[in-house]
Amino acid sequence: MNVAVLASGGGTNLQALLDAAAAGALGPARIVAVGSNVPGCEALARARRAGVATFALDHRNFAERAGFDQALVAELRGHDTELIVLAGFMRLLTPVFLDAFPQQVINIHPSLLPAFPGTNGPGQAFAHGVRYAGCTVHFVDAGTDSGPIIAQAVVPVLAGDDVESLRQRILREEHRLLPVVVRAVVEARVVVEGRRVRVTGATAETTHLRSLD
Ligand code: GRF
């Protein structure tokens, strides 16, 4: 199954996917393209180093979101994309995009949704004083980080933490969780039942990752 990844920044989650693919841990998934709205970002460099096709569409060149989304759809269709993974992609997608790929777009978010959607999930969690934080992989809908939840991983907030140490602890879990979920999706083991998502098969239990150590 052809998978594309969209990213805007450092691309460490993309790297986790590339490494998993190289290790044969993504099942039938093939990462066929990496796209970005930030032409010089490190995520694109990581993709090039891995020999994966890249494209950049600078959103500032588009007067409206819909036009940007239309161009994204065209790029992704050119790669016969069947699953799109948002890994630090910092643009909201409109129905122009989402209707083109129904239930084929997933996102990783650095909080235990529905708490702390939007930007800076770790900072929001830290400021709120929660004792447990984490990350979520979910299907993307037209809202902000509001689609059906596929998997979550939990980390503790420790006494000596600052926002950065918490962000790093969450990020490490993101790197474990995202490849597991991508594999489950491409193996057709993820079933959406309204708001609830059922994951079956060997790795089902790993979609509730615990990292309390
Ligand atoms: C991650 O925390 C991801 O959950 C969020 O943006 C960050 C991207 O990090 N959406 P990276 O580019 O994968 O290193």
d(CA 187, CA 1): 9
Shared domain check, 117 and 159: yes
The CA-CA-CA angle for residues 150, 104, 184, to 5°, reads 45
Same domain, yes or no: 166 and 201 = yes
The half-sphere exposure of 197 on its side-chain side, counting CA atoms within 13 A, is: 23
Catalytic machinery residues: 109
Same domain as 145, residue 86: no
Ligand 1 centroid, distance to 81 Cα (angstroms): 21
**Gyration radius (Cα) of the chain, Å:** 16
Residue 132 token pair = 């447990």
Number of compact structural domains in the chain: 2
* Domain identity same for 81 and 114: no
Q: What is the CATH number of the domain that holds 94?
A: 3.40.50.170
pTM metric for this prediction: 0.94
Q: Are 173 and 139 within one domain?
A: yes
Instruction: Using the 3D structure, point to which of 56, 73, 102 is the last residue of a domain.
Output: 102
Pocket of ligand 1, beta carbon within 6 A: 7, 9-13, 43, 87-88, 108-110, 171, 174
Same domain? 158 vs 127: yes
Instruction: Say whether both 124 and 158 belong to one domain.
Output: yes
CB within 8 A of 169, min separation 6: which ones?
Answer: 133, 155, 161, 211
Structural domain span for residue 97: 1-102
Same domain, 125 and 195: yes
* Ligand 1 pocket: which of 108, 111, 164, 168 to mutate (most atoms within 8 A of CB): 108
Same domain, 87 and 111: no
Asked if 87 and 130 sit in the same domain, the reply is no
Using the mean position of ligand 1's atoms as its centre, give its distance from the Cα of residue 78 in Å. 25
**In a structure prediction context, what are the per-residue pLDDT tens digits for the chain, which is 213 residues long?**
999 999 999 999 999 999 999 999 999 999 999 999 999 999 999 999 999 999 999 999 999 999 999 999 999 999 999 999 999 999 999 999 999 999 999 999 999 999 999 999 999 999 999 999 999 999 999 999 999 999 999 999 999 999 999 999 999 999 999 999 999 999 999 999 999 999 998 655 555 554 333
Question: Which of 6, 136, 174, 181 is the pocket-test mutation for ligand 1 (most atoms within 8 Å of CB)?
Answer: 174
In whole angstroms, give the CA distance from residue 33 to residue 31: 6
Same domain membership, residue 133 and residue 43: no
